Amino acid sequence: QGSTATPVHTDAVVIGAGFGGIRMLIELQKLGLSAVALEAGTDVGGTWYWNRYPGARTDSESWSYCFPFPEIEQEWNWSERYPGQVEVQKYIAFVADRFDVRRNIRFSHRVLAATYDKPSNLWTITTENGQQFTCTYFLPALGHLSVPQEPQFEGINSFTGNIYRTSQWPKEHVDLTGKRVAVIGTGASGIQTIPHVAEAAEHLTVFQRTPNYVMPAQNHDLDDEFRQKIKADYAAVWDKARGHVFGFPMDPAGRMYDDVVVEAERERIFEEGWQNGGFHFVFETFDDLILDQRSNDAAADFIRKKIAETVKDPAVAELLTPRGYPYVSKRPPSGTNYYETFNRDNVTLVDIQSNPIEAITANGLRTSDRDYKFDVIILATGFDAVTGALNNIDIRGEDRVKLSQYWAGGPETFLGIGTPGFPNMLMICGPQSAYANIPVIIEGVVNWLSRALNFMKDNGYDRMQPTEEAAEQWTAHVSDVFNMTLLPSGESANSWYLGANTPGKPRRVLFYFGGAAGYFQELEKSAGNDFAGFEFSNVPVKAHN
């Protein structure tokens, strides 16, 4: 696959072959448009291709972490409630093969640049290996968490052991037997991998900056009876998911904190949520958990009590206990044996809030108070979230304006799909799209795009982009919605929701937090009204009948 002089032309170029890219390719095929997807990895999967660390699994229940294709729903059998990385990647590959879209994917094609040319109304996409592709529709499906973020630890190149990153875990087995291992980071990735590393390593030292509120996943195998029940009425699963704030097939709790006055009854409700596991604790206890401080405090206290009950050493339990920021203002991880792992003799917890890491050394690392020796260091330090992957590509819109400069103060989009000045750049879940169970949101966005592309065809348009006004209003709305919740409060909540986890990044609300159902209403408000908020090239180029 060397460089070619003649660019390959298709109607559309999709970037990425994860959930979003594969779903879009299938839609383009249905629309009869020619397309290629350019993918940096060597296989499909996106997030589930790269994040192969031990313990990587979904925090969404498998039967709603997939697409509503009736034929796939009946054929595919999920083995677990929260499937692991291998299984999710297999699912995405299965879908790609079943719809025969793999032939349109160019693997090992990392995109470096995308440039819009006004006279021809074409985008030219250039890859790292020098290939060029031209298209009318430029469709990034880059994922929210695809650019790893690595703190600039001094001396990192001097380390003589092995450094692994959860988000770029090697394909071959990593043997940690007999090794002294460090894990840096206690976000969702760290929390999933820590119990597995503890089992394999001789000794594990966990470096924690901010303690998290970790819900027990309560993962389990699925049996045939359950699978058949789901398959018998899959439409009901999607109806629920589309109507749910987070895109999960759950019913709202149907009660607010003040509806329950008896303390023991509140405890019972929290306990039930805890036993149901994962996000059931957030969404099936009290519906005002992220809106009412008292409701949130009660949930946070319940979790703190669980930590104290689970972790035997009171000093370790205290270090693991989150304080000073609301529950859910950082994305709450689901864990399996997470707190229990700190009862093991071969696990040590180090608080780097009080004693920060100063340097990686030849034999380990140094915090402000002491030296540690390690054979292996695992970085679970997160991502340059949501805008990172787009800003890493040299994207030039009208008048060669660079996207990363246009977004220097933070992203500005309409519906997380389009941005002014970048005609026909239509993002599959770009910045300011809804924060929710992602396949459900992808489905809504892809259906919207499908209608938009048909609308253009039917009206003889060849170009669409949002108006400045629509993007400004959406950006303000996204921020207003966020500010109605408890999410912005708490000084230590340096969440990637805001880009606050990445040094130097402007803080801006990166998601629409009005819920899946609210987002779908907003999508419909535009689509059902001749795609209000978007302007189309005003001279019909080609009448269609």
Q: Which of 189, 419, 433, 475 binds ligand NA7 (CB under 6 A)?
A: 189
**Contacting residues for 127 by C-beta, under 8 A, at least 6 apart:** 38, 106, 109, 110, 111, 112, 133
Footprint on residues 250-309 left by ligand NA7 (CB under 6 A): none
Closest CA to 511 of 499, 525, 497, 521: 497
Three-state SS at 94:
helix
Roughly what angle, to the nearest 10 degrees, separates helices 234-243 and 515-527?
A: 90
**Residue 151 interacting with ligand NA7 (CB under 6 A):** yes
**Residue 169 interacting with ligand NA7 (CB under 6 A):** no
Q: Which of 270, 274, 496, 531 binds ligand NA7 (CB under 6 A)?
A: 496
Stretch that binds ligand NA7, among 182-190, 248-256, 338-346, 444-452 (CB under 6 A): 182-190
**Residue 331 interacting with ligand NA7 (CB under 6 A):** yes
Strand partners, 394: 113
Cα 233–chain centre separation: 28
| CB of 332 vs ligand NA7, minimal distance in Å | 8
SS (H, E, C) 475-533: HHHHHHHHHCCCCCCCCCCCCCCCCCCCCCCCCCCCCECCHHHHHHHHHHHHHCCCCCC
d(CA 55, CA 82): 11
| CB of 207 vs ligand NA7, minimal distance in Å | 6
First CA to last CA across the chain, in angstroms? 40
Q: Which of 28, 141, 145, 456 binds ligand NA7 (CB under 6 A)?
A: 145
Stretch that binds ligand NA7, among 188-196, 276-284, 303-311, 456-464 (CB under 6 A): 188-196
Closest residue to ligand NA7 using C-beta atoms: 187
d(CA 518, CA 415): 11
Footprint on residues 345-374 left by ligand NA7 (CB under 6 A): 352, 357
Q: Which of 134, 186, 336, 361 binds ligand NA7 (CB under 6 A)?
A: 186
**Contacting residues for 69 by C-beta, under 8 A, at least 6 apart:** 95
Which is nearer to ligand NA7, 110 or 331 (by Cβ)?
Answer: 331
**Residue 322 interacting with ligand NA7 (CB under 6 A):** no
Which is nearer to ligand NA7, 189 or 526 (by Cβ)?
Answer: 189
CB contact at 8 A, 209 and 480: no
CB contact at 8 A, 184 and 149: no
Closest CA to 252 of 228, 225, 227, 288: 288
| DSSP one-letter string for 355-375 | S-EEEE-SSEEEESS-EEE-S
Which is nearer to ligand NA7, 36 or 289 (by Cβ)?
Answer: 289
Which is nearer to ligand NA7, 10 or 341 (by Cβ)?
Answer: 341
Stretch that binds ligand NA7, among 364-372, 446-454, 457-465, 494-502 (CB under 6 A): 494-502
**Residue 507 interacting with ligand NA7 (CB under 6 A):** no
Stretch that binds ligand NA7, among 7-15, 381-389, 458-466, 537-545 (CB under 6 A): 381-389
Stretch that binds ligand NA7, among 35-43, 109-117, 181-189, 229-237 (CB under 6 A): 181-189
Which is nearer to ligand NA7, 3 or 353 (by Cβ)?
Answer: 353
Which is nearer to ligand NA7, 104 or 381 (by Cβ)?
Answer: 381
Which is nearer to ligand NA7, 104 or 437 (by Cβ)?
Answer: 437
d(CA 337, CA 117): 54
| CB of 209 vs ligand NA7, minimal distance in Å | 3
Roughly what angle, to the nearest 10 degrees, separates helices 515-527 and 438-459?
A: 0
Stretch that binds ligand NA7, among 100-108, 380-388, 395-403, 447-455 (CB under 6 A): 380-388
| CB of 331 vs ligand NA7, minimal distance in Å | 4
**Residue 213 interacting with ligand NA7 (CB under 6 A):** no
- Cα distances from 167 to residues 49, 58, 383, 461, in angstroms, run 9, 14, 9, 41
Binders of ligand NA7: how many residues, by CB under 6 A?
Answer: 21
Which is nearer to ligand NA7, 21 or 211 (by Cβ)?
Answer: 211
Footprint on residues 391-430 left by ligand NA7 (CB under 6 A): none
| CB of 408 vs ligand NA7, minimal distance in Å | 23
The secondary structure of residue 218, as a DSSP letter, is -
309, burial (CB in 10 Å: exposed 0-12, middle 13-18, buried 19+): exposed
Which is nearer to ligand NA7, 192 or 296 (by Cβ)?
Answer: 192
- Cα distances from 483 to residues 381, 486, 530, in angstroms, run 26, 7, 30
| DSSP one-letter string for 387-445 | THHHHHSEEE-GGG-BHHHHTTTS---BTTTB-TT-TTB--TT-TTSB-S-HHHHHHHH
Q: What dihedral angle (degrees, nearest 10) is formed by the CA atoms of 408, 531, 425, 244? A: 70
| CB of 212 vs ligand NA7, minimal distance in Å | 7
Q: Which residues of 60-74 are buried (b: 16+ CB within 10 A; e: fewer)?
A: bbbbbbbbbbeeebe
**Residue 380 interacting with ligand NA7 (CB under 6 A):** yes
| CB of 170 vs ligand NA7, minimal distance in Å | 17
Q: Which of 139, 184, 194, 516 binds ligand NA7 (CB under 6 A)?
A: 184
d(CA 276, CA 232): 23
| CB of 90 vs ligand NA7, minimal distance in Å | 19
| CB of 289 vs ligand NA7, minimal distance in Å | 18
Residues in contact with ligand NA7 by CB under 6 A are 145, 151, 184-190, 209-210, 331, 352, 357, 380-383, 494, 496, 501
